[in-house]
Chain A
Amino acid sequence: MSESQASSVRYDGATKRYRGSSEPAVDHLSLEVPAGEICVLVGPSGCGKTTAMRMVNRTVDIDEGDILIGESSVRERDAAQLRREIGYVIQQIGLFPHRTITQNIGAVPQLLGWDKDRIRARSAELLELIGLDPELGDRYPAQLSGGQQQRVGVARALAADPLVMLMDEPFGAIDPINRERLQNEFLRLQAEIRKTVLFVTHDIDEAIKMGDRIAVMREGGRVQQYATPAELLMAPANEFVEDFVGADRALKRLALMRVADINLWEAPLAHVGQATAEVRAKLDSPAVEVPFPLLVDSERRPLGWLSERDLAAENVPGRPDSPLGPVLELDDVMRDALADLLQHETQYAPVVDHERRIVGVLSVEIISEFLASPEAKTDEHSAAERPHG
Chain B
Amino acid sequence: MASVALLAAAGEVGGDFFKERDVGSLCQAQTQHVFCFDWAKENIDRFGQPTVQHLQIVIPAILIGFVVAFALALISHRIRWLQPPLLAATGILYTIPSIAFFFLLLPVTGLGRDTAIIVLAAYTLQIIYRNTVLGLNNVPDSVKDAARGMGLTQRQILWKVELPLAIPEIIAGLRVAVVSTIAIATLAVLISAGGLGTQMYNANLTFPTSIIIAGAIVMLMALAFDAILLLVQRLTTPWRRATRA
Contacts and interface: CB of A to CB of B under 8 A. Distances in A.
Contact of A143 (B141, B164, B245): B245
Interface in A83-128: 83-84, 86, 88, 90, 92-99, 107-108, 111
Contacts, number: 77
A98 B241 CA distance: 11
Contact of B150 (A97, A99, A108): A108
Interface string B151-168: 111001000010011000
A83 B148 contact: yes
B239 interface: yes
Contacts of A259: none
Contacts of A81: 151
Given A80-B153, A81-B151, A82-B151, A95 B244 contact: no
A265 interface: no
Contacts of B242: 139-140, 142-143
A83 B150 contact: yes
Contacts of B238: 140
Interface residues of A, number: 30
A81 B151 CA distance: 6
A165 B150 CA distance: 11
B152 A111 contact: yes
A94 B143 contact: yes
Nearest to A135: B245
Contacts of B149: 57, 59, 83, 86, 88, 90, 166
A140 B239 contact: yes
A98 B151 contact: no
Nearest to B154: A80
Nearest to B143: A94
Contacts of B165: 97-98
Interface in B95-128: none
Contacts of B245: 139, 143
B145 interface: yes
Interface residues of B, number: 25
A166 B143 CA distance: 16
Contacts of A99: 239
Contacts of A86: 149
A108 B239 contact: no
A97 B142 contact: no
Count chain A CB atoms within 10 A of each CB in B145, B150, B237 and give the residue with the most: B150
A376 to B, nearest CB: 39
B243 interface: yes
Given A90-B142, A94-B145, A111 B150 contact: yes
A98 B145 contact: no
A108 B148 CA distance: 11
A57 B148 CA distance: 10
B147 interface: yes
Most chain-B CB neighbours within 10 Å: which of A79, A82, A92, A108?
A92
B239 A59 contact: no
B239 A90 contact: no
Nearest to B241: A140
B9 interface: no
A82 B148 CA distance: 11
A229 to B, nearest CB: 27
Interface in B195-245: 237-239, 242-245
A23 B164 CA distance: 40
A93 B143 CA distance: 8
Contacts of A97: 143, 165, 239
Given A88-B146, A143-B242, A98 B164 contact: yes
11 contacts: A59-B149, A79-B151, A80-B151, A83-B150, A83-B151, A92-B140, A94-B145, A95-B143, A97-B239, A98-B165, A142-B243
Given A88-B150, A108-B150, A143-B244, 6 more contacts: A80-B151, A84-B150, A90-B145, A94-B146, A111-B156, A142-B244
Q: What 6 pairs across the A-B complex have the smallest Cβ distances?
A: A94-B146, A92-B142, A83-B151, A88-B149, A84-B151, A94-B142
